[in-house]
Amino acid sequence: MDALRQWILTLAATGLICGAAKALSPGGTVKKAVDVVCGFAMLAAVLGIFGDVEALGLSRYAAKYGLEAETSADAAVDAARAQTRTIIEDRCEAYILDKARLLGLTPGDIEVTARWSEEGFWYPVEVRLKSREDPELAYVMESELGILRENQIWSAEDES
């Protein structure tokens, strides 16, 4: 009876872990890899009642592919995070350029730097722009984008 209870607990725990892994995995090939690993894990848990799963070697393969899936998922999260940072920086740069043009400025290069917050999102923290300093644009960047004035680095345009 104790073996049956242990088998049921193993099935339940495997199901919970697989459900969490599938819910947290990003889409695409990573999700497919997690599905395969979860399938093997559930198969190993089900077959556990019929004998020593270790003899079949399934748990070794499940552990190996589980680690590979976790590594792939981590790499995908890192890539998505880097891509999101680039998007945030590009959109802030475009926004600043639009506001500058509305104020009659024609800035040169604009480069926004974003930082990862403790709350889990990217936010702009610094801007470097090649333009004469403009108090109105500085105010817009501080009030609307949250870029403090001390983090706004202005450089005069080369006048040739």
Q: pLDDT per residue over 92-109, tens digit each?
A: 999 999 999 999 988 889
63 and 101 in one domain? no
Q: How confident is the model at residue 159 (pLDDT cuts 50, 70, 90)?
A: very low
Amino acid at site 5: R
Answer whether residue 134 is part of any domain: yes
Comparing 122 with 77, the larger pLDDT belongs to 122
The residue type at 31: K
Instruction: State the maximum Cα–Cα separation within the chain, in Å, rounded to a whole number.
Output: 89
Q: Is residue 160 part of a domain?
A: no
Residues 95 and 70 in one domain: no
Backbone phi, then psi, for 129, in 5-degree steps? -140, 145
Strand order in the sheet with 152-155: 110-116, 122-130, 152-155
pLDDT, tens only, 16-69:
888 888 888 777 777 888 888 888 888 888 877 665 545 445 566 667 777 887
The pTM of this model reads: 0.57
pLDDT at 78: 85
What is the per-residue DSSP string for 40-78?
HHHHHHHHGGGS-HHHHTHHHHHHHHHHHHHHHHHHHHH
Neighbours of 147 (CB within 10 A): 22
Query: What was the pLDDT predicted at 53?
Result: 45
Provide the sign of the torsion angle of the four alpha carbons 99, 101, 102, 104, taken in this order. positive
What's the domain count of the chain?
Answer: 2
Supply the range of the domain harboring residue 145.
81-155
Residue 157 in this model has a pLDDT that exceeds 80 = no
Domain ends where: 58, 80, 102?
Answer: 80
pLDDT tens readout for residues 132-152 = 899 999 999 999 999 999 999
pLDDT (0 to 100) of residue 158 = 53
Domain boundary residue among 14, 45, 80?
80
